[in-house]
Amino acid sequence: MQFNRRRFNTAIAAGAATVAAPSVLSQSAQPIKIGLVSITEGPFAVMGADCFRGAELALRQASMRAGGRPLEVIRGGTNATPDRATAEVRKLVEQDKVDIVVGPLSGSEGIAIKNYSRSQAQCTFMNGSSAAQQTTLQDPSPNFFRFSMDGVQWMAGLGSEASKKYKRVAAIGEDYSFPWAQLKGFALEFCRGGGKIVERFWVPLGNRDYSAVISRIPKDIDGIYVALGGSDAVNFLTQYDQSGGDKDIIGGSITVDQTVLSFRGQKRPDWLVGTLASGPIGDTWDNPAWRKYVGDYRAAFKDGLPTPSLFATAYFQNMMAVLTALDSVKGDLGNNHQALRQTLSTMTLNGPTGPMRLDANRNAVGNIFVTQVTKEGNNLVNRVLRVVPNVNQTLGQPPEQFLQVGFAARNSLENQCR
């Protein structure tokens, strides 16, 4: 999909026509420039479109102003690769001179932008939905913030729930940082509950043909843990069903997200009803703030999903955090954003998924939802089974104990859980 960069701006020009124009605007009248980055090409393009919806909803609700100043937003598109993400963000920071970057979407993109942020002390970087563990847990950057947690956190509660029903599972995921984090988070609890992961399959991002993998899935298992997203998830689930596969699916956080359950142009996978999963949202959560957010999303985007995806919600919350902090400091970006960053580091964000705060590494601590796919009317949704509160990046363990098995990688727990 060809992506055309575009800007959307406040009515600065209209305001300027009514004011006696000084030669230099005061800081309070100068726009704050925000670079908004998400994926526009490849297997995650549908997810990327919902990222933009979530961020735009937060901006609309703020009337494109924060801290008493107008906002100018410049969009950038990526393709899920670290190099492309870095090039796009570099252009926004070094050529467009944005003050704040919100994004990216994908895990390894996030690690790359975290690393780039170190060289740009004048800019504040707010995560989008990227959820690699190393982005904040390993060598965190002082000007990179994440109000959306990581892929290990998103698995809190799922492994223990799944171990009540399943004992031997195979696992499949794309071969990069986010699925590695998802499998690690799942395995930590699943294995502790007596489960075994008997086989793992890592596939390239954008894989279209899963026949070779499906043919190698062991017969003596009772479930398949799937950490695929976007069209990768749709392709695998469709081909597995068509092959006559009869094992239950255990869903990674984005595998049964609305970007997959409501994927247009594909036969709806009703056979996924009953699938266990977990993540930072729960479609049916009976909470006033969540219900309001869902209603606002539906009203704003007639072309949106039945309920906002994980990706829309992550971008909404991260943009909301930026705007809330800017209001708190009255738009002050002086001294390399010192006041803004201090506020982000210490504030509690009361967003649609409940209160969220940052730890010492500027990574979010918040609610995780254990869910099960169900059918409501014509839609598949994730029904909330339980909420796991205050999930931190080391799942409640001391960091040194948590990291005894190392950071999330393709060989995480290689000698365990078998």
Average pLDDT taken over every residue of the chain = 92
Q: Which residues contact 241 (CB under 8 A, 6 or more apart)?
A: 269, 271
Question: What's the confidence (pLDDT) of residue 27?
Answer: 58
Average pLDDT over residues 138-167: 98
Confidence grade of residue 28 (pLDDT, cut at 50, 70, 90): low
Q: What percent of the chain has pLDDT over 70?
A: 90
CA distances 375 to 90, 253, 300, 306, Å, are: 44, 18, 24, 12
Kindly tell me the sign of the dihedral angle through the C-alpha atoms of 231, 104, 303, 292: positive
Give me the amino acid identity at 206: G
Mean pLDDT of 341-368: 98
Q: Supply φ then ψ for residue 62, to 5 degrees.
A: -90, 5
Residue count of the chain: 418
Q: Which of 13-27, 129-143, 234-248 has the lowest mean pLDDT?
A: 13-27
Lowest mean pLDDT among 288-302, 326-340, 362-376, 404-418: 404-418
- Identify whether the C-beta of residue 212 lies closer than 8 Å to the C-beta of residue 282: no
Task: Note the pLDDT of residue 16.
Answer: 34
**What is the C-alpha separation between 69 and 77, in angstroms, rounded?**
26
Query: Which run of H or E residues covers position 225?
Result: strand 223-227
Percent of the chain scoring above 90 in pLDDT: 87
Please count the other Cβ atoms lying within 10 Å of the Cβ belonging to residue 44.
29
Task: Classify the phi-psi angles of 68: left when phi > 0, otherwise alpha if psi is within -120 to 50, otherwise beta.
Answer: left
pLDDT in tens, 55-70: 999 999 999 999 999 9
Mean predicted confidence (pLDDT) in 308-326: 98
User: Please, are residues 154 and 182 in contact by the beta-carbon 8 Å criterion?
Assistant: yes
Question: Would you say 260 and 228 are in contact if contact means Cβ atoms under 8 Å apart?
Answer: no
pLDDT digits 0-9 by tens, 208-267? 999 999 999 999 999 999 999 999 999 999 999 999 999 999 999 999 999 999 986 556
**Residue 366: strand pairing partners:** 391
Say whether pTM exceeds 0.85. Answer: yes
Question: Three-state DSSP class for 265?
Answer: coil
The CA R_g of the chain, rounded to the nearest whole Å, is 21
